[in-house]
Amino acid sequence: MSHRPYPVPAETSQVQDVVRRSRFVTRVGRARDRAAADRFLMEAKERLPGATHYCWAFNAGPPGATAQVGMSDAGEPPGTAGRPMLTVLLHSGVGQVVAVCARYYGGVKLGRGGLARAYSRGVKRALEACPTIENAERTAVVVVVAYDSVERVERILQEVDAVVTERKFGAGARYCALVPLDRRQRLTDAVAAATGGSGVVSLS
């Protein structure tokens, strides 16, 4: 099984809008999975302290796909933040993308329509400012190693930019992962070296 390339964020972008005295600071970056989206949210909270709301949305899959999405209104009226943000992401043509918008309330209520427009606009502008790269074509592999090799193999998977889709641990460890085609041999060689030849990398 292979996965065709598509645009993904190359780095994090940030834009700011002021709407009727409320300040909206929107950050967009890459999220290969839910855990990465959670880390991006925590980083945004650290970089943008004191906001009234931290609304977010992500799509960890290909552009327009809905199998790996999430969103939150973070205390705003339901449907006025997370959903509009996610809609923009899904129609952007960019995959593996996350957006966080920190709102600093300025004392004037914007109404449901005003909020939805403000959050949507922030994500659109941040996407426009965000450079993209092509996500490498990937192939699905299975990696099986002894349990005492887990730490080394986890590091190798990260080094080859593998997207781990499943982990199973028992007497040993079994990983299902998507690996860039041009790094599959590198993965195979590194796992063999790290496990003394006992680790196995095979096509899914």
CA gap 85, 193 in Å, rounded = 45
Nearest to 64 by CA among 7, 1, 121: 7
Q: Which helix (H) or strand (E) holds 119?
A: helix 111-129
CATH 3.30.230.30 placement within the chain? 2-134
CATH 3.30.70.240 placement within the chain? 138-203
The length of the chain, given as a count of residues: 204
CATH topology of domain 2-134: Ribosomal Protein S5; domain 2 (3.30.230)
Tell me how far CA of residue 97 lies from CA of 6, 28, 88, 133, 150, in angstroms.
Answer: 12, 7, 11, 12, 28
DSSP string across 178-194:
EEEGGGHHHHHHHHHHH
Residue 3: predicted pLDDT: 56
User: How large is the C-alpha radius of gyration of the chain?
Assistant: 20
Token duo for residue 47: 């970089």
CB-CB contact of 30 with 132 (8 Å): no
Nearest to 143 by CA among 129, 126, 156: 156
Query: Tens digit of pLDDT per residue, the chain (204 long)?
Result: 445 778 999 889 999 999 999 999 999 999 989 999 999 999 999 999 999 999 999 999 999 999 999 999 999 999 999 999 999 999 999 999 999 999 999 888 899 999 999 999 999 999 999 999 888 777 889 999 999 999 999 999 999 988 888 899 988 999 999 888 888 999 999 999 999 999 999 987
Rounded to the nearest 5 degrees, what angle is found at the Cα of 114, between the Cα atoms of 22 and 92? 100
Q: Helix, strand, or coil here: 13?
A: strand
- Please check whether the domain covering 138-203 is classified as CATH 3.40.50.1820: no
Residue 170: predicted pLDDT: 86
Nearest to 126 by CA among 22, 26, 21, 10: 26
Supply the pTM of this predicted model.
0.68
Say how far residue 17 (Cα) sits from the centre of its chain: 23
